[in-house]
Amino acid sequence: VLGQPEHSVVTTCAYCGVGCSLKAEMKGSQVVRMMPNKNGEANEGHACVKGRFAWGYATHKDRITKPMIRAKITDPWREVSWDEALTYAASEFRRIQAKHGRDSIGGITSSRCTNEETYLVQKLVRAAFGNNNVDTCARVCHSPTGYGLKTTLGESAGTQTFASVEHADVIMVIGANPTDGHPVFASRLKRRLRQGAKLIVVDPRRIDLVDTPHVKAQYHLPLRPGTNVAIVNALAHVIVTEGLLNEAFIAERCETRAFEQWRAFVALPENAPEATADVTGVPAERVRAAARLYATGGNAAIYYGLGVTEHVQGSTTVIGIANLAMATGNVGREGVGVNPLRGQNNVQGSCDMGSFPHELPGYRHIGDATVRAEFEDAWHVTLQPEPGLRIPNMFDAALDGSFKGLYCQGEDIVQSDPNTQHVSAALSSMECIVVQDIFLNETAKYAHVFLPGSSFLEKDGTFTNAERRISRVRRVMPPLSGYADWEVTQLLSKKLGYEMDYAHPSEIMDEIARLTPTFHGVSFDLIDKLGSIQWPCNEHAPEGTPIMHVDEFVRGKGKFVITQFIASPEKVTRKYPLLLTTGRILSQYNVGAQTRRTDNVRWHDEDRLEIHPDDAAERGIKTGDWAGIESRAGQTVLRALVTERMQPGVVYTTFHFPESGANVITTDNSDWATNCPEYKVTAVQVTPV
Ligand code: SF4
List ligand 1's pocket residues with C-beta within 6 A: 13, 15-16, 18-20, 43, 47-48, 50-51, 182-184
Q: How far is the CA of 15 from the centre of ligand 1 (A)?
A: 6
Please state the atom number of ligand 1 nearest to the C-alpha of residue 52: 6
* Angle subtended by helix axes 369-379 and 505-515, to nearest 10: 150
Q: How far is the CA of 164 from the centre of ligand 1 (A)?
A: 18
**Of the residues 23, 48, 187, which should be mutated to test ligand 1's pocket, given the most ligand atoms within 8 Å of the CB?**
48
Among 29, 114, 52, 60, which Cα is nearest to 460's? 114
pLDDT of 581: 96
Helices (H), 474-535: 485-495, 505-515, 524-530
* Angle subtended by helix axes 284-296 and 273-280, to nearest 10: 120
Residues 178, 210: Cα–Cα separation, whole Å: 11
Q: How far is the CA of 581 from the centre of ligand 1 (A)?
A: 23
CB 657 within 8 A of CB 606: yes
Angle at 327 (CA atoms; ends 323, 331), nearest 5 degrees: 80
Q: How far is CA 87 from CA 103, 203, 277, 491, in A?
A: 20, 50, 61, 10
Among 603, 609, 543, 606, which Cα is nearest to 582's? 609
Residues 6+ apart with CB under 8 A from 351: 136, 138, 142, 143, 146, 156, 363
Q: How far is the CA of 49 from the centre of ligand 1 (A)?
A: 8
User: Which residue CA neighbors atom 1 of ligand 1 most closely?
Assistant: 20
**Of the residues 52, 111, 182, 348, which should be mutated to test ligand 1's pocket, given the most ligand atoms within 8 Å of the CB?**
182
User: Which residue CA neighbors atom 3 of ligand 1 most closely?
Assistant: 51
Residues 433, 92: Cα–Cα separation, whole Å: 9
Identify the helix (H) or strand (E) that includes residue 398: helix 391-400
Please state the atom number of ligand 1 nearest to the C-alpha of residue 345: 8
Distance of CA 235 to the CA centre of its chain: 26
Please state the atom number of ligand 1 nearest to the C-alpha of residue 14: 3
- Say what the alpha-carbon torsion angle 312, 315, 321, 324 is, to the nearest 10 degrees: -110
pLDDT of 297: 98
Q: Is the peptide bond before 76 cis (omega within 30 degrees of 0)?
A: no
pLDDT of 588: 84
Residues 570, 304: Cα–Cα separation, whole Å: 23
**Of the residues 11, 37, 43, 342, which should be mutated to test ligand 1's pocket, given the most ligand atoms within 8 Å of the CB?**
43
**Of the residues 21, 22, 33, 184, which should be mutated to test ligand 1's pocket, given the most ligand atoms within 8 Å of the CB?**
184
pLDDT of 376: 98
User: Which residue CA neighbors atom 4 of ligand 1 most closely?
Assistant: 48
**Of the residues 11, 20, 603, which should be mutated to test ligand 1's pocket, given the most ligand atoms within 8 Å of the CB?**
20
Q: How far is the CA of 52 from the centre of ligand 1 (A)?
A: 8
Q: How far is the CA of 344 from the centre of ligand 1 (A)?
A: 9
pLDDT of 2: 64
Task: Quote the DSSP letter at residue 612.
Answer: -
Residues 229, 321: Cα–Cα separation, whole Å: 9
Identify the helix (H) or strand (E) that includes residue 450: strand 449-452
Helices (H), 282-333: 284-296, 306-309, 314-327
**3-state DSSP assignment of residue 470:** strand
pLDDT-flagged residues of the chain (< 70): 1-2
pLDDT of 604: 83
Enumerate the β-bridge partners of residue 136.
Answer: 109
Residue environment code for 466-486, b if the CB has 16+ CB neighbours within 10 A, otherwise e: bbbbbbbbbbbbebbbebbbb
**Of the residues 11, 15, 162, which should be mutated to test ligand 1's pocket, given the most ligand atoms within 8 Å of the CB?**
15
Q: How far is the CA of 160 from the centre of ligand 1 (A)?
A: 18
Q: How far is the CA of 19 from the centre of ligand 1 (A)?
A: 6
Q: How far is the CA of 13 from the centre of ligand 1 (A)?
A: 6
Identify the helix (H) or strand (E) that includes residue 581: strand 578-583
Q: How far is the CA of 53 from the centre of ligand 1 (A)?
A: 10
Residues 190, 188: Cα–Cα separation, whole Å: 5
Residues 385, 126: Cα–Cα separation, whole Å: 10
**Of the residues 10, 12, 16, which should be mutated to test ligand 1's pocket, given the most ligand atoms within 8 Å of the CB?**
16
Residues 6+ apart with CB under 8 A from 257: none
**3-state DSSP assignment of residue 576:** coil
Q: How far is the CA of 189 from the centre of ligand 1 (A)?
A: 15
Among 656, 677, 661, 665, which Cα is nearest to 590's? 656
Q: How far is CA 320 from CA 149, 170, 234, 236, 326, in A?
A: 10, 18, 10, 8, 10
Q: How far is the CA of 546 from the centre of ligand 1 (A)?
A: 20
Please state the atom number of ligand 1 nearest to the C-alpha of residue 18: 8
Q: How far is the CA of 342 from the centre of ligand 1 (A)?
A: 11
pLDDT of 586: 83
User: Is the torsion defined by CA of 126, 128, 131, 132 positive or negative?
Assistant: negative
pLDDT of 600: 84
Residue ranges of E strands in 623-672: 626-630, 635-642, 650-654
pLDDT of 1: 54
User: Which residue CA neighbors atom 6 of ligand 1 most closely?
Assistant: 51
Centre a 10 Å sphere on the Cβ of residue 551 and count the other Cβ atoms it contains: 6
Kindly report the length of the chain. 689
User: Which residue CA neighbors atom 2 of ligand 1 most closely?
Assistant: 16
Q: How far is the CA of 597 from the centre of ligand 1 (A)?
A: 17
Q: How far is the CA of 233 from the centre of ligand 1 (A)?
A: 33
Q: How far is the CA of 345 from the centre of ligand 1 (A)?
A: 8
Please state the atom number of ligand 1 nearest to the C-alpha of residue 43: 1
CB 82 within 8 A of CB 484: no
Please state the atom number of ligand 1 nearest to the C-alpha of residue 22: 6
Q: How far is the CA of 463 from the centre of ligand 1 (A)?
A: 13
**Of the residues 10, 18, 456, which should be mutated to test ligand 1's pocket, given the most ligand atoms within 8 Å of the CB?**
18
